Structure 1
Amino acid sequence: MTIGFEIPVFGASAASKAIELGASRIELNASGSYSDGGLTPPLHELKGSSSVRVPLRVMIRPRGPPSEPQARDFIYSDEEFERMEASIQMFKETGLLKKEHGDGFVFGILKESQDIAEASTGRRKCWVDKERCNRLVEAARPFKTVFHRAFDEIVSCDDAGIAIDNRHAWRVGLDDLAACGFDAILTSGGLGNAIQNIDMLDRIITRAEVLRIEIIVGGGVRKHNIQRLSQQLKLKERGSTTYVHSACLSSTESECVDDDEVIGILSHLG
Structure 2
Amino acid sequence: MSKLIIEVVTDSVASCVNAEAGGADRVELCDNLFEGGTTPSAGMIKLVREKVSIGLMVMIRPRGGDFLYSDEEFEVMKEDIRVAKSLGVDGVVFGLLTPKGKIDKVKTKELIDIARPLSVTFHRAFDMVADPFQALEDLIDLGVDRILTAGQERTAPEGIDLLKDLMEKAGDRIIILAGGGIRPYNIEKIVSKTGVKECHVSGKQLVESKMEFRNERVALGGSLQQPEYGISMVQSDTIASFRK
Q: Tell me, yes or no, whether TM beats 0.5.
A: yes
Q: Determine the structure 2 residue equivalent to 1:130.
A: 105
- Structure 1: distance between partners of 2:184 and 2:138: 33
Q: Determine the structure 1 residue equivalent to 2:16.
A: 15
8 Å CA contact 1:40–1:59 kept in 2: the answer is yes
Counting helix residues as a fraction of each chain, which structure ranks higher?
A: 1
Q: Which amino acid aligns with 2:76?
A: R
Residue from 94, 97, 100 that aligns with 1:107? 94
Q: Determine the structure 2 residue equivalent to 1:48.
A: 47
Q: Which amino acid aligns with 1:64?
A: G
8 Å CA contact 1:153–1:191 kept in 2: the answer is no
Q: State the 1:261 CA deviation.
A: 2.7
| Matches for 1:223-242 after TM superposition, within 5 Å | 223-235=184-196, 242=197
8 Å CA contact 2:6–2:198 kept in 1: the answer is yes
8 Å CA contact 1:11–1:41 kept in 2: the answer is no
Q: State the 1:228 CA deviation.
A: 1.5
- Structure 1: distance between partners of 2:24 and 2:83: 26
Count of residue pairs brought into register by the alignment: 220
Q: Compare 39-48 and 246-255 and name the one that shifted more.
A: 246-255
Please give the secondary structure, in 2, of the residue aligned with 1:256: strand
Q: Determine the structure 2 residue equivalent to 1:218.
A: 179
Q: State the 1:139 CA deviation.
A: 0.6
Q: Determine the structure 1 residue equivalent to 2:145.
A: 183
CA deviation vs aligned residue, 1:212-246 (integer Å, no higher than 9, x gap)? 211110010011211221222234xxxxxx21011
Q: Determine the structure 2 residue equivalent to 1:142.
A: 117
Matched, 1:248 2:225: no
Q: Determine the structure 2 residue equivalent to 1:74.
A: 67
CA deviation vs aligned residue, 1:96-139 (integer Å, no higher than 9, x gap)? 23xxxxx11000000122xxxxxxxxxxxx00000100000001
Q: State the 1:197 CA deviation.
A: 1.2
For the aligned residue pairs, the C-alpha RMSD in angstroms reads 1.4
Displaced runs of 4 or more, over 6 A: none
Please give the secondary structure, in 1, of the residue aligned with 2:29: strand
Q: State the 1:260 CA deviation.
A: 4.1
Residue from 154, 157, 171 that aligns with 1:192? 154
Q: Determine the structure 2 residue equivalent to 1:263.
A: 240
8 Å CA contact 2:20–2:236 kept in 1: the answer is no
Q: Note the residue ranges of structure 2 that are not aligned, 5 or more in a row.
A: 207-225
- Structure 2: distance between partners of 1:259 and 1:20: 6
Q: Determine the structure 2 residue equivalent to 1:208.
A: 170
Q: State the 1:23 CA deviation.
A: 0.6
8 Å CA contact 2:22–2:238 kept in 1: the answer is no
Q: State the 1:34 CA deviation.
A: 1.1
- Structure 2: distance between partners of 1:149 and 1:76: 15
8 Å CA contact 2:22–2:237 kept in 1: the answer is no
TM-score in terms of structure 2 length: 0.86
Please give the secondary structure, in 1, of the residue aligned with 2:102: strand
- Structure 1: distance between partners of 2:180 and 2:14: 23
- Structure 1: distance between partners of 2:91 and 2:122: 11
Q: Note the residue ranges of structure 1 that are not aligned, 5 or more in a row.
A: 66-72, 98-102, 114-125, 158-168, 236-241
